[in-house]
Amino acid sequence: MRHFVIVGVLVIAASFLAYTGLAAAHLMPVEASSQSLEIDWMWNLQLIGMSFLFSLIAVPILYSLIVFKLKKGDTTDAKHIEGNTPLEITWTVIPLFVVVIFAYLGAGNLARTVRSSPDAMVVKVTATQWSWKFSYPDYGVISTELYLPKGKPILFKMESTDVIHSFWVPEFRVKQDLVPGRVTELRITPILDGNYKVRCSELCGTGHYRMEQPVIVVDKAAFSAWVTDQQAKAAALVTPEAKGEALVAENGCAACHSINGAAGVGPTWFGVAGSQVALEGGTTVTADDAYLTESIKNPKAKVVKGFAPVMPQYSFTDEEIANLVAYIKTLK
């Protein structure tokens, strides 16, 4: 019995030290959303459980190695033990109850995390290899930076134009896949001012590593000022060229196409308008308005020599395509 008491005390002490060490390591980033509070509460319970289970295994092993070490010159056989049925029942039933309790707590935690809010602000998220675009339908604003008002529930309606991406802001904890042909949803409520980054957590191609964009959480007054500024900038875009340039920024075209002649995943736009373009198959084509329009509408119709047909098909309007062509023609 003495050994059981000693081991029990050591297990409790080791569990406390292990949990304290893990908590002091700050394994998680700051809590920047109300969902992060729920998730970190559950994570904290798991840390306690992991610390205890680690100690429950490690301490008896180390204690036995030290206390019950074979004495020098002792050649007697160890005591033969057939088994201990009550012990085996105990270490089966108790973990079963623990798993059920954690499942119950986890279900409640998940329900609170995804709970809808009638006053949520809708933000449409579009993912493209390899960029993000954010649309605020209530305000008529489109941005490549995700601005969010603190304390306001947000409903993200998300879609992908090409492959599976995954929306993830570590400080918000929650994440959600974006699947081509579907609209997926994610709900968060920012609670901490600051600058963060949205990352793609699903391997989505050669540019996956750079698919991140700013997330700025501000108070409601600063958010309203930002919306007003964005609306003013949009109203100031009066020429087709300027509107086309804005579309390029909003849709992440620069992730593949350079505007200065530099090499990229796709052909550079610098000087392409009016030039002779070599195509796969050995033919050439003049990069006139018709060719540029077709390349945007159906990028796989004529593939430029030396490049793979990986450009997704965008759903631009005819006016937007005309604006893009007008902008490309200025790149000389």
**pLDDT value of position 183:** 94
288 three-class SS: coil
* Mean pLDDT by groups of 10 residues along the chain of 332 residues: 86 92 88 92 91 92 85 77 84 90 90 87 91 90 92 94 92 93 93 94 88 93 92 77 77 78 80 82 82 83 81 77 81 80
Q: How many CB atoms lie within 10 A of CB 202?
A: 19
User: Is the separation of the CB atoms in 180 and 164 below 8 Å?
Assistant: yes
**pLDDT value of position 115:** 86
Q: How many CA atoms lie within 13 A of 298 on its CB side?
A: 5
First to last CA, the chain: 87
**pLDDT value of position 216:** 95
**pLDDT value of position 116:** 85
**pLDDT value of position 201:** 93
d(CA 59, CA 8): 9
**pLDDT value of position 210:** 87
Angle between helices 318-328 and 240-250 (to 10 degrees): 100
